[in-house]
Amino acid sequence: MGKRTDTVLLLTVLSLVIIAILQGSSFDKIKGIGQSLTNVANAIAYMGNNEKTITSNPLKYQSSPTQQPYSDTNQASFKNIALPSTSSASQTTTNLTTIFKQVENSVVQITSRTPNPNTQIIINGNPLQGQSTRLGSGFVYDKQGHIVTNNHVIDGANTADVTFVDGNTYTAKVIGKDTSGDIAVLQIIDNFSPENLVPLTIANSSSLQVGQQVIAIGNPFGLSDTMTTGIVSQMGRILPNPDTGFSIPEGIQTDAPINPGNSGGPLLNMQGQVIGINTAINSATGEFSGIGFAVPSNAVSKELPTLIKSGSFNHPWLGIAGGAITPEIAQSAGLPRNYKGVVVGSVQAGSPAEKAGLQGVSQNDFSNTRAVGDIITAIDGHSLKSIDDLINYIDLHKTIGDNVGLTVNRHGQIMNLNLMLQARPQSIGNTTQQQQLPILP
Per-residue pLDDT reduced to its tens digit, 67-99: 333 333 344 333 333 334 445 555 666 699 999
* Residue 43, pLDDT score: 33
154 close to 112: Cβ distance less than 8 angstroms = yes
Q: Which residue would you say has higher pLDDT here, 369 or 391?
A: 391
* Residue 286, pLDDT score: 74
Q: Which of 178, 182, 374, 395 is catalytic?
A: 182
* Residue 123, pLDDT score: 66
Residue 62 pLDDT greater than 50, yes or no: no
- If one counts every other C-beta atom within 10 angstroms of the C-beta of residue 55, the result is 11
- Mean pLDDT, residues 253-271 taken together: 95
With left for phi above 0 and alpha for psi between -120 and 50, is residue 363 left, alpha or beta?
beta
Catalytic residue check, 182: yes
Looking from the CA of 67 toward its CB, the CA atoms found within 13 Å total: 12
Q: Into which CATH architecture does domain 105-196 fall?
A: Beta Barrel (2.40)
Per cent of the chain over pLDDT 70 is 70
- Mean pLDDT, residues 308-335 taken together: 91
Q: Which of 152, 224, 233, 247 is catalytic?
A: 152
| 191-205, 257-271, 290-304, 367-381: range with lowest mean pLDDT | 367-381
* Residue 184, pLDDT score: 97
- Mean pLDDT, residues 10-20 taken together: 45
Confidence of residue 47 (pLDDT cuts 50, 70, 90): very low
With left for phi above 0 and alpha for psi between -120 and 50, is residue 235 left, alpha or beta?
beta
- Mean pLDDT, residues 129-142 taken together: 87
Catalytic residue check, 106: no
Angle (nearest 5°) at CA 436 between 279 and 313: 40
Q: Which residue would you say has higher pLDDT here, 308 or 412?
A: 308
| H and E: helices and strands count for the chain | 11, 24
How is domain 205-310 classified at the CATH fold level?
Thrombin, subunit H (2.40.10)
Residue 66 pLDDT greater than 60, yes or no: no
- Mean pLDDT, residues 393-409 taken together: 94
Catalytic residue check, 152: yes
The whole-chain average pLDDT of the chain stands at 78
* Intervals of CATH 2.40.10.10 along the chain: 105-196, 205-310
pTM above 0.75, yes or no: no
Return the CATH number of the domain spanning residue range 316-436: 2.30.42.10
**What is the helix (H) or strand (E) element at residue 354, kind and residue range?**
helix 352-356
Confidence of residue 9 (pLDDT cuts 50, 70, 90): very low
Q: Which of 106, 137, 233, 263 is catalytic?
A: 263
pLDDT digits (tens, 9 = 90+) for 166-221: 999 999 999 999 999 999 999 999 998 888 899 999 999 999 999 999 999 999 99
* Intervals of CATH 2.30.42.10 along the chain: 316-436
72 close to 241: Cβ distance less than 8 angstroms = no
* Residue 34, pLDDT score: 41
Burial class for 109, CB neighbours closer than 10 Å (0-12, 13-18, 19+) = buried
